[in-house]
C-alpha cells in the first residue's frame, strides 16, 4: 500500500495550459479519501499552487503538504507554514545570477521564500508564467544586493534554445564548482538550487517526519528535475510524455500523458 503520492505539476499532472483534468482530480480525491497523502512536488513557488490545492480539497488543510522550489522548501498547507527550508547561500545565488547574465536574450528568475523576481523578461516566458497563474515582479536593474537580506530558494534561467541551455548548465558547473544542484525543466528552463537539494531529498525528509518509508512512496514525473524524486521513491512513474531519461528510471510508464496519466497510475497502484 502506497501511503504517499508525490507528483510533479507542469507537464505531469497539469495540461499544457496549466489546467488539470477531471480524471486526475477524481483519482487524487479518491486516494486522499483513503488516507493517502498527495504532495505536489514542483519547482514553483508554493503560493502559485493554491488554486490547484483548492480543486483537490487540500487547501489550508492541516497535515497536508507541498514541496516547492525543487525541494528548496516543504510547506504545510494550513497557514502555508514552511517546515523545511534549503536556500542557496547569498554568494551562490549571486554567482548563479551573474553567470546567467552572460547569456543574451535570457530571462533570469530569482525566487525568495514568497516572491518571484524576473530580470530581462522574455515575451514567451511571460506567456508561460501567465498560463500557470504565476505572479512576479519585473526587475529593472541587475543589482543583486537587493536580495542580500532575503533567503533565496533558487535562481533559474529561461531560454528556448537547447544549445544555449546546455551552455548555461556548463557555465554554472564551471563557475560554482559543484556547490549547487543544476537541473532542466519544462524544456525551457535551467534551474539551480543549493547543493544536495532536490525533489527526492525533500520528499524523503517529509516522509521521515510522517513515519512513511521510501518504499511506501509513489512518485510521478516527466522531466530531469524529477529524476531524484523518482529514484528516491518505492515506485517511480513516468507519464507518457516523459523525456527518455525519466522513462529509463521509471518502474511504470503510463499510456496516457499529462491529460490523465496520473489518474491512470493512481488507479493501477492505489485504487484498484
Confidence at 1, pLDDT banded by 50, 70, 90: confident
* 158-175: average pLDDT: 98
214-229 pLDDT per residue, tens: 999 999 999 999 999 9
Helix (H, G, I), strand (E, B) or coil at 51: helix
Q: Tell me which residue of 165, 48, 182 sits closest to 114, measured CA to CA.
A: 48
In this prediction the pTM is 0.89
pLDDT, tens only, 134-156 = 999 999 999 999 999 999 999 99
Geometric angle at alpha carbon 218, from 213 and 220, rounded to 5°:
145
The confidence band for 261, taking pLDDT boundaries of 50, 70 and 90, is very high
| Other C-beta atoms lying within 10 Å of the C-beta of residue 39 | 23
In sequence order, the 6+-apart residues with CB closer than 8 A to the CB of 56 are 25, 28, 29, 32, 38
* DSSP bridge partners of 181: 193
**What is 4-85+198-271's CATH superfamily?**
HAD superfamily/HAD-like (3.40.50.1000)
Domain with CATH 3.40.50.1000 in the chain: 4-85+198-271
Residue entry with cell 508525490: 6
Supply the CATH classification number for the domain 90-194.
Answer: 3.30.1240.10
Amino acid at each position: 500500500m502506497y501511503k504517499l503520492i508525490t507528483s510533479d505539476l507542469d507537464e505531469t499532472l497539469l495540461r499544457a495550459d496549466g489546467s488539470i483534468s477531471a480524471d486526475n482530480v477524481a483519482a487524487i480525491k479518491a486516494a486522499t479519501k483513503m488516507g493517502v497523502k498527495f504532495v505536489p512536488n514542483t519547482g514553483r513557488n508554493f503560493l502559485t499552487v493554491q488554486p490547484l490545492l483548492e480543486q483537490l480539497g487540500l487547501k489550508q488543510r492541516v497535515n497536508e503538504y507541498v514541496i516547492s522550489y525543487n525541494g528548496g522548501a516543504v510547506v504545510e498547507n494550513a497557514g502555508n507554514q514552511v517546515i523545511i527550508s534549503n536556500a542557496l547561500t547569498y554568494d551562490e545565488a549571486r554567482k548563479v545570477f551573474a553567470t546567467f547574465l552572460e547569456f543574451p536574450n535570457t530571462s533570469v528568475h530569482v525566487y525568495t521564500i514568497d516572491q518571484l523576481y524576473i530580470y530581462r523578461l522574455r515575451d514567451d516566458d511571460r506567456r508561460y508564467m501567465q498560463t500557470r497563474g504565476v505572479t512576479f515582479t519585473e526587475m529593472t536593474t541587475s543589482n543583486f544586493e537587493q536580495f542580500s537580506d532575503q533567503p533565496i530558494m533558487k535562481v533559474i534561467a529561461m531560454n528556448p534554445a537547447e544549445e544555449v541551455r546546455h551552455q548555461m548548465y556548463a557555465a554554472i558547473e564551471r563557475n560554482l564548482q559543484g556547490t549547487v544542484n543544476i537541473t532542466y525543466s519544462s524544456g525551457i528552463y535551467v534551474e539551480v538550487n543549493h547543493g544536495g537539494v532536490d525533489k527526492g531529498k525533500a520528499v524523503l525528509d517529509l516522509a521521515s517526519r510522517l513515519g512513511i518509508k521510501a518504499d511506501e512512496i509513489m512518485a510521478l514525473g516527466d522531466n530531469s528535475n524529477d529524476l531524484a524524486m523518482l529514484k528516491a521513491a518505492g515506485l517511480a512513474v513516468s507519464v507518457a510524455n516523459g523525456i527518455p531519461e525519466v522513462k529509463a528510471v521509471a518502474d511504470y510508464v503510463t499510456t496516457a500523458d499529462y491529460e490523465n496519466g496520473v489518474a491512470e497510475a493512481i488507479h493501477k497502484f492505489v485504487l484498484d
